[in-house]
Structure 1
Amino acid sequence: MNFYESLGFLVLGSRLRRLSETFLADVNKIYAAHQLKFDASWFPVFYILSKEKQVSIRYIADELAVSHSAISQLVSSLQEKGLVKTTASAEDGRKKVVTFTTKGQKLQQQIEPVWKALTKAMEELAKEGVHSKHFLKAVAEMETGLASSSLFERVEAKLEK
C-alpha cells in the first residue's frame, strides 16, 4: 500500500489535486501535440460559449460556482489573446456579455474533436476499474454532501465532542 492509500480520507484533497494536475497536464499536452494554442483552464468558458453563444460574466460565474472576479479575470485574459470580446448587454447596459471573436470561434471548432476524443478516452479509463466507473457519481455525492455541510463544519463538530 502506498503512502496516499495508507492515509485514506486524510489526504483526499492531495490525491484529487494530484489527479487533477496529471489530467490537466496531459490535456494541455494533447492540445500542444495538435498545434492548438489552448489551455485546459479555458475549457469551462469556451464550453459555455460554444453552447450559449453570448452570456454574461455573472452567468458564467454562477454556472461554474466560482467568483465573478475569477471569471472576469479569465475573460480579460481571453480578451487579451483576441479569443473573446465583451460588450454591453442590449437589455441592461450595466451588464457585460461575452461572445467569441472570429479567432475564438475558429479555435473552439478546432478543439471540438479533441473534446470528443477526450470524453471517449476518459469513459474507457473509467470502465477499466471495478470502482472507477462510479467515480463521477461519487464525486457528485461528495459535492452534494459538502454543499449541505462544509468539511469545516463537520470537523468542528467532531472537535467539540
Structure 2
Amino acid sequence: MNFYQSLGVLVFGSRLKRLSDAFLSDVNRIYKSHDIPFEASWFPVFYLLSQQEAVSISDIATQLEVSHSAASQLVSSLQEKKILKTATTPDDARKKLVTFSPKGRKILAQVLPVWTALQQAMEQLIQEGEHSKHLLSAITDIENRLEQTPLLSRIETHLQSP
C-alpha cells in the first residue's frame, strides 16, 4: 500500500487528481506519438462540435458546467490556433456560434479513431478490476451528493461539532 492509499479518504481529491493527471498525460502522449495536434483538454468542446455542427458559447458553458468566461477563453484559444471559428447569429449579434474551421475538421478526423481506441481501452481497464466496474456509478453518486451539499458545508459542519 502506497502513501496515498494508506491515507484513505483524507486524500481522496489528491488521488483523483493524480489519476486524472496520469490519464491525461498518457492520452496526450498518444496524440503526440501519432502526430495529431490535439490536447486532451480540448476534448469536451471537440466532442460537442462533433455532435452538433454549431454550438453557442453559452451552450458550451451550460453543457460543460463551466462559466461563460471559461468556455469563451477555451474557444478563443482554439480560434487563435485556427481550429475553431465563430460567427454572430443573424438574430442576435451578441450570441456567437462556434464551428470547426477546415483545420479543426481535419484534426477531428484524426482524433476520432483515438477516441474509439480510448473508449475500448478504458472499458477493458474497468472490467479488469473487481471494484472498478462500479467506478463510474460511484463517481456519479459522489457528484450528485456534492451538488446537494458541497464539501465545504460538510467540513464546516464537522468543524462546528464538538
TM-score, length-normalised on structure 1? Answer: 0.98
User: For each residue in 1:15-35, what CA deviation from the matched residue of structure 2 results, as whole angstroms up to 9, or x when unmatched?
Assistant: 011000000000000001111
Instruction: Tell me, yes or no, if structure 1 residue 127 matches structure 2 residue 134.
Output: no
After TM superposition, the structure 1 stretch with the greater mean CA deviation from structure 2, 83-92 or 28-37, is 83-92
Q: How does 1:112-151 map to 2 (within 5 A)?
A: 112-151=112-151
Distance 1:77 1:134 in 2: 36
Size of the alignment, in residue pairs?
A: 161
Distance 1:12 1:139 in 2: 12
Q: Which residue of 2 aligns with 1:61?
A: 61
Q: CA deviation at 1:90?
A: 2.5
The one-letter amino acid of 1:150's match is P
Give 4+ residue runs of structure 1 displaced > 6 Å after superposition: none
User: For each residue in 1:84-132, what CA deviation from the matched residue of structure 2 results, as whole angstroms up to 9, or x when unmatched?
Assistant: 0011012322101100011101110111010000000000001110001
Distance 1:89 1:18 in 2: 41
User: For each residue in 1:40-91, what CA deviation from the matched residue of structure 2 results, as whole angstroms up to 9, or x when unmatched?
Assistant: 0000000000001101111011111111111111111100111100110123
Q: Which runs of 5+ in 1 are unaligned?
A: none
Distance 2:35 2:2 in 1: 37
Distance 1:91 1:104 in 2: 26
C-alpha RMSD of the superposition:
0.8
Q: How does 1:1-161 map to 2 (within 5 A)?
A: 1-161=1-161
TM-score, length-normalised on structure 2? Answer: 0.97
Distance 2:91 2:102 in 1: 24
Q: Which runs of 5+ in 2 are unaligned?
A: none
Q: CA deviation at 1:143?
A: 0.3
Distance 2:36 2:91 in 1: 35
Provide the secondary structure at the position in 2 that maps to 1:82. coil
Q: CA deviation at 1:5?
A: 1.2
Identity %: 57
Distance 2:50 2:8 in 1: 39
